[in-house]
Structure 1
Amino acid sequence: MLRNVFLALIALVIAVGGGTLSAWYAVNRFDGFGALSIGQWTGHPDAGTSLSDPYAKARAAREGAFPLGSAEGLAFYAYSDDQGKTLDRRCTYKIEGNSPNSRFWTLYAADRALTALEPGADRLPAIHSRQVFRQEDGRFIVNVSPKAQPGNWLATAGSGRMVLVMTLYDTPVGSNSGLVDMKFPAIRRTSCDG
C-alpha cells in the first residue's frame, strides 16, 4: 500500500514538474512553429494571425507584444552574426546588403526581452529605409556600435547580449507564393571591446 502511494507521488511530481518545465521552455526558449529563417534573420509569418501556434500566442501575451498581422508587416530578429557568435552590445557590426522586399523597413537594437535599447542622448535609437544612405548599386551599410561611426550608424549602449530587429512593412516575404527573392543583409562583426 505504501509502495503504491509512493509511486503515485513520484508519477505526480514527474508529471507536474515535466509539464511545468516544458511549458516554460516553450514560452521562453522555443522559437515556435513556422519560423522563417533567412541568413541570420528569423521571422514568424503566422504571428498575429489565426494560424499562430498556441506557444506563440502565450509568448506574445506574456511579453505584452502586439504582433503585426500578415497584411501589415513582419518582424525579423537576428541573435547572432554571420559566424554564429551571439550579438554583443560592446561590439561593432556591419549590416550590409540590399533592402529586403518591402515598401518600408525599420531597424533597431533590443535586449533579449525585445525591449528597445536606449542608446543615450543625441543618438538615434533606430534607423529606417527612408533615411539610410545607399551606395550607387542600391546596397547599404549600417554600422551598429556603441562608438560613433561614419555613414549609417545605429547606436548601442551598455553591455550584454542584444538582438537586432528589422521590421518589414507591406512586404510579400511572409507569403507562400515562392516568387519572392528573399535576401537579407548580412551581419558581420568588425571589432569588439569586450
Structure 2
Amino acid sequence: MMRLVLSVALVFVLSIGGGAATVRYALDHLAALEGLTIGPWIAFPDRGSPDADPYSKARFSRKAELPLGPSEGLAFVAGVDSAGAALRRDCSYRIEGKAPAARFWTLHPSAESGTPPEPQAMRWPGLHSMQILRREDDSFEVTASPRPHPGNWLVTGGEGPLSLVFTLYDAPTIRNLDAARVDLPLIYRAGCE
C-alpha cells in the first residue's frame, strides 16, 4: 500500500515539475518563433493587441511589461550583435545605420531579463531621436560602452548579458510589417575589457 502511495506521489511530482519546466522554457527560449526578426533585432508586433498568443501574454505578465499598442509603436530588442555573438555589458559596441521613418525613437540598454540597468549618473540611460548627432545622409553612429566616448554614447555599465532596445513610436513603415523594406541599425563589437 505504501509503495502505491509513493508511486502516485512521484508521478504527480514529476508531472507538475516537468510541466512547469517546459512552460518556463517556452516563455524564456521560444520567444523568437513568433517574432519579427530584422538583422539582430527582434520585435513582437502583436504584443499590445488582443491577437497576442497566450505565451506572449504570459511572458508580458511574468515580466510586468506594458507593451505598446499596434498604433503606438514597436520595440525591437537585440541580444546579439550583427555577427550573432551575445551582447555583454563589459564590451563596447558600435551601432550604426539609419532609423526607419518614425515620429520619435529611443535606444536604451537593458538587462537580459528586460529589467532596466542599474542607476547611472544620468537621468535617462538611453538616447532618443531628438538628441542624436547625425551624419549628412541622416545616418548615425552610437557607441554603447561602459566607458565614455565622444559623439553618441550609450552607457552600458555593469557585468553580464546585455540587450539593446530600439523603440519606434508612430512609425508608418512598421504598421505594414514589411520587413524587407525596413532597415534597422547594425551592431558591431568594438572590443571587450
TM-score past 0.5 threshold: yes
Residues 32 and 56 of structure 1 are in contact (CA less than 8 Å); yes or no, is this contact kept in structure 2? no
Q: What displacement does 1:116 show?
A: 1.7
Are the structure 2 counterparts of residues 174 and 6 from structure 1 closer, same or farther at C-alpha, using a change threshold of 3 Å? farther
| Cα shift at 1:168 | 0.6
1:26 equivalent to 2:51? Answer no
| 2: CA distance, partners of 1:131 / 1:122 | 14
Amino acid at match of 2:47: A
Q: Pick the structure with more helix per residue.
A: 2
Q: Distance in 1 between matches of 2:124 and 2:178?
A: 36
Structure 1 position 85, deviation (Å): 1.0
Answer yes or no: is the 8 Å Cα contact 1:97–1:141 preserved in 2.
yes
The percentage of aligned residue pairs carrying the same residue is 43
Where structure 1 has 5 or more consecutive residues not aligned to the other structure, the ranges are: none
Unaligned runs of at least 5 residues, structure 2:
none
Kept after mapping to 2: 8 A contact 1:101/1:182 = no
Matched residue, 1:95: 95
- Summarize deviations over 1:67-125 as a string: whole Å, max 9, x none: 01000011110001112111111111000001123211000001112122136225750
Matches within 5 A, 1:41-190: 41-118=41-118, 120-122=120-122, 125-176=125-176, 178=178, 181-190=181-190
- Which stretch shifts more, 108-117 or 184-193? 108-117
CA pair 2-14 structure 1, distance change in 2 beyond 3 A: same
**Aligned counterparts of 2:33 and 2:190: Cα–Cα separation in 1:** 33
* Secondary structure at 2:102 match in 1: coil
Distance 1:175 1:123, change over 3 A: closer
Q: Report the residue type matching 1:163 in the other structure.
A: S
After superposing on structure 2, the runs of 4+ consecutive aligned residues of structure 1 that deviate more than 4 Å are 1-14
1:132-181 residue CA offsets vs partner (Å, 9 max, x unmatched): 11111111000001111111000111111110001110013443463972
- Asked if 1 retains the 8 angstrom alpha-carbon contact of 2:94 and 2:189, the reply is yes
**Cα 1:115–1:104, aligned 2, differ >3 Å: closer, same or farther?**
same
Deviates more, 1:4-13 or 1:117-126: 4-13
Structure 2 distance, partners of 1:56, 1:177, is 18
Could you say what secondary structure the match of 2:26 adopts? Answer: helix
**Would the alpha carbon gap of residues 9 and 103 (structure 1) be closer, same or farther in structure 2, given more than 3 Å must change?**
same
